[in-house]
Amino acid sequence: MKSTSVRQDSDKLAEIVVSGMQEKKASDIVVLDLRELKNAVADYFIICSASSDTQIEAIARSVEEEVEKLIGQNPWQTEGRTNREWVLLDYVDVVVHIFLRDRRQFYALEELWGDANITYVEEEASAAAN
């Protein structure tokens, strides 16, 4: 079991990631809390959709900038920037998935991790934040 401070760190990181996504109008933001699942690879998966490859890159940059600015952390690893259909930002405890809408449906990560506690971030929250 992880210590309370590590849990709080991943909770805070998850909040910052969602904020970075909302900043660039990401849609269908979902937070999968994997902490109670056996053999989970992270504390959280945060998934969103984008309407274009340009928006995917803008969302990824926004998330990276917000996390760097607020907690000074960079992704441990990034994937998918060259094909621009699905960008993954791996912060170890929090893994960020930014999909083109049809790619997201194809991979269906929410279904794959269906046992997770899933939170759907309201679209109105992103509009109110601006």
DSSP letter for each residue of 29-92 = EEEEE-TTSTT-SSSEEEEEEESSHHHHHHHHHHHHHHHHHHH----SEEE-TTT-SEEEEE-S
Over the stretch 72-106, which tens digit does the pLDDT of each residue have?
Answer: 999 999 999 998 899 999 999 999 999 999 899 89
| pLDDT, the chain, mean | 89
Does residue 1 surpass a pLDDT of 50? no
What fold, for 4-122? Beta Polymerase; domain 2 (3.30.460)
Give me the DSSP letters along 10-24.
HHHHHHHHHHHHHHT
pLDDT (mean) for 63-74 = 96
Quote the pTM value. 0.87
Q: Do the beta carbons of residue 31 and residue 118 sit within 8 Å?
A: yes
Residue 64 to residue 59: CA distance in whole angstroms: 9
The number of beta carbons lying within 10 Å of the beta carbon of residue 121 is: 18
Residue 41 to residue 95: CA distance in whole angstroms: 9
Domain range summary for the chain, segments of one domain joined by +: 4-122
